[in-house]
Amino acid sequence: MVNSQSMSLTDSQTEHVSEVEAALLDAELFMKYQAADRAIKRLRAALQINSRSIKLRERLREICASQKQTEEAARQCLALASLYIEREDFDTAHDRLLEAKQLDERINIAGGLEAIRRARRPDLKPVATATEPQFERKYFTLAGDLSAISVFDAMQVIENARLNGVLTLSGEKHQGQVMFSDGRIVDATCGSKSGEQGFEGVVEITSGTFEFQKTADQYPVRIQALSNTNLILDTLRMLDERKSS
């Protein structure tokens, strides 16, 4: 005998799938007749019922990007990144975060970067402590506790302000430094390693404190990357691949 509650759940799921497919078909029809605004409206309406549908959000992202509606396309990229992280599809999550930043430079994707790092490397989660972070008595432009503010947030602030200086991370076992020129990451050190290898070590420091000291001078470029975001995403991907191999 079929349980009526199970049947009801199955029917409900089927209805949602049907609504998603219907919305996608309607959107394609609107696009065929060059009615992009109506296609976007139809997909948004369907998302109110199926907010976790990747198919709907991907199509809405594509249409908005093609219509130069960059803010909406970027918002969909961020939502998609969260969904892909939940599914442990980190490569696609990386791609959507990078696309969001490219679509709208004002967007802070530090939260998404941190979510990927935590999901990929649960062994790096910081241990909560009752002690307050201790800082030496000297002038810092920016300082904080890594268990409260991620290093990616700090890097975003430095990048947006186009600062020259050194970001120092002090962890339980390691200390690392990242050098910035006009807000761009140009070098890093961690232990005996420098450049990109040094930056890999810095990214793995997830507990402790950070402090940024502004300088007037710029630094020699030992890290070549299209952007800070590209560098961070590529580093996270490399660390994950190395751990999996």
Q: Tell me the pTM.
A: 0.64
Could you give all domains of the chain from N- to C-terminal order, each with its CATH number? 4-107 (1.25.40.10), 130-244 (no CATH)
CA distances to 21, 95, 161, 194, 228 from 102, in Å: 29, 10, 18, 28, 12
CA distances to 154, 162, 235 from 181, in Å: 15, 7, 20
Decide: 229 and 109 in contact? Cβ < 8 Å: yes
Decide: 206 and 195 in contact? Cβ < 8 Å: no
User: What is the rounded CA–CA span in Å between residue 235 and residue 195?
Assistant: 12
Digit-coded pLDDT (tens) for 132-146:
444 444 445 788 888
| Residue in the block written with tokens 């049947």 | 7
Collect the ranges in the chain with pLDDT lower than 70.
1-17, 121-140, 244-245
| Per-residue model confidence (pLDDT) at position 116 | 81
Sheet holding 184-190, edge to edge: 142-145, 209-214, 165-170, 175-181, 184-190, 193-194
How does the average pLDDT of the chain come out, rounded?
Answer: 83
Digit-coded pLDDT (tens) for 161-210:
899 999 999 987 889 999 999 999 999 999 899 999 999 999 988 888 99
* Six-digit token string for 118: 């935590």
| Per-residue model confidence (pLDDT) at position 8 | 44
DSSP assignment, residue 191? Answer: T
| Per-residue model confidence (pLDDT) at position 148 | 82
